[in-house]
Amino acid sequence: MDDTTTMIAGLRFLIVEDHGFQRWAIRHMLEELGAGNVLEAGDGRAALAILRDPHARVDIIISDLDMPGMDGMEFIRHAGAEGIAVSFILASALDRALISSVETMTTAYGIDLLGAIKKPVTANALVAAIRRYSLPRPHIERQPAAPIFTLAEIAQGFANREFESYFQPKVELATGAIKGVEALARWRHPQKGVVSPGAFIKLLEDSGHIDGLTMAMLDMSAICCRTWREGGLDATVSVNLSHKSLADVAFADRVTERVLAQNLDPRHVVLEVTESAATTHLGTALENLSRLRMRGFGLAIDDYGTGYSSMQQLSRIAFTELKIDQSFVRSASTQKSSRVILESSLEMAKRLNILAVAEGVETRPDWDLLVSLGCDLGQGYFVAAPMETGAFFHWLKTWKLSI
How far apart (Å, rounded) are the C-alpha atoms in residues 308 and 285? Answer: 17
- Does 376 participate in binding Ca ion (rule CB under 5 A)? no
Minimum gap (Å) between residue 219 Cβ and ligand C2E: 11
- Does 137 participate in binding ligand C2E (rule CB under 6 A)? yes
Please say whether the dihedral angle defined by the alpha carbons of residues 303, 305, 309 and 312, taken in this order, is positive or negative. Answer: positive
How far apart (Å, rounded) are the C-alpha atoms in residues 177 and 232? Answer: 13
Largest CA distance in the chain: 69
- Does 345 participate in binding ligand C2E (rule CB under 6 A)? no
> Other CB atoms closer than 10 Å to residue 312's CB: what's the count?
7
Minimum gap (Å) between residue 378 Cβ and Ca ion: 13
Pattern 252-281, Ca ion, x by CB under 5 A: --------------------x---------
Nearer to ligand C2E by C-beta: 78 or 179? 179
Residue 184 interaction partner, one of ligand C2E, Ca ion, none, beta carbon < 5-8 Å per kind: ligand C2E
Nearer to ligand C2E by C-beta: 214 or 309? 214
Q: Report CA-CA distances (Å) from 50 to 23, 28, 41, 75.
A: 16, 20, 8, 12
- Does 362 participate in binding ligand C2E (rule CB under 6 A)? yes
Nearer to ligand C2E by C-beta: 92 or 279? 279
How far apart (Å, rounded) are the C-alpha atoms in residues 256 and 88? Answer: 46
State phi, psi for 381 to the nearest 5 degrees: -60, -25
Interaction with ligand C2E in 253-282: which residues (CB under 6 A)? 272
- Does 197 participate in binding ligand C2E (rule CB under 6 A)? yes
Q: Which of 16, 60, 217, 317 binds ligand C2E (CB under 6 A)?
A: 217
Q: Which of 221, 236, 240, 379 binds Ca ion (CB under 5 A)?
A: 240
Rounded to 5°, angle at Cα 355 from 402 and 234: 60
* DSSP string covering 332-396: TTT-HHHHHHHHHHHHHHHHHT-EEEE----SHHHHHHHHHHT-SEE-STTT---B-HHHHHHHH
Q: Which of the stretches 7-15, 47-55, 283-291, 294-302 binds Ca ion when contact is defined by CB under 5 A?
A: 294-302
Residues within the interface to Ca ion (CB under 5 A)? 240, 272, 302-303, 359
